[in-house]
Homo-oligomer: A and B are copies of this chain.
Amino acid sequence: MKIAFLLYPGFTALDIVGPFDVLCRLPGADATFVGKQATAYPNDNQRLTMVAAKALAEVPDPDVVVVPGGTEGTRAAARDPEILDWLRAAHEHTRWTTSVCTGSLILAGAGLLEGAPATTHWAAAGELEKLGASYRPERWVRSGRLVTAAGVSAGIDMALWLAAQIAGDLGAQAIQLGIEYDPAPPFDSGSLAKASPEVRELVASVFG
């Protein structure tokens, strides 16, 4: 089972590494990072660099695709013909085409989410709707073979769900125990509904 993890300049690292460290542990998984070129890509704040082992053209037929979000680079990727053509062609025969955070803007840019229920980072809901998708404020949303996850860490939840679809509940639960994914955040302000007005205001000033 070929799993392609997309890299592009400006991706958010946790968006892609979360699902990677779940899905690469599936029996028979052939996990590969791909990019327009097989080269190194900087993340959203240029402090982290990851390497795409293969160019898009070398992986035309993945069984699973995972698209991470990010900031400006994500919007550029969502208008990049080479990335969008690859996604459209790959999606014709994937078992699952997935995104994390604003990665859904790239799937939408490829026309894959037209009229479909989908999710994204909470600050990008309007942007996703403008690209034709129907935003849902959920942790992850399935629409046929398409699965979109909400902001950053929701990718881990989505990947576990996906692992269960592929390898059964027992397989997914074994991966969860293996990576000890037993979250216990010290605070409970990970969503707009739960965060205090002060926290929401502070974050709004960043996401403008």
Contacts and interface: CB of A to CB of B under 8 A. Distances in A.
A194 B180 CA distance: 11
Contact of A173 (B53, B153, B195): B195
B177 A195 contact: yes
Does more than half of chain A's interface fall in helix, strand or loop, or is it mixed? mixed
Interface in A1-52: 12-14, 17-18, 20-21, 24, 31-33, 40, 45, 47-51
Interface residues of A, number: 64
Interface of A: 12-14, 17-18, 20-21, 24, 31-33, 40, 45, 47-51, 53, 101, 121-122, 139, 150-154, 156-157, 160-161, 164, 169-170, 172-174, 176-187, 189-192, 194-196, 198-200, 202-203, 206-207
20 contacts: A14-B20, A17-B17, A17-B48, A20-B48, A24-B45, A31-B47, A122-B180, A139-B182, A150-B180, A153-B156, A153-B183, A154-B180, A157-B185, A164-B187, A174-B203, A176-B195, A177-B191, A180-B190, A180-B191, A181-B185
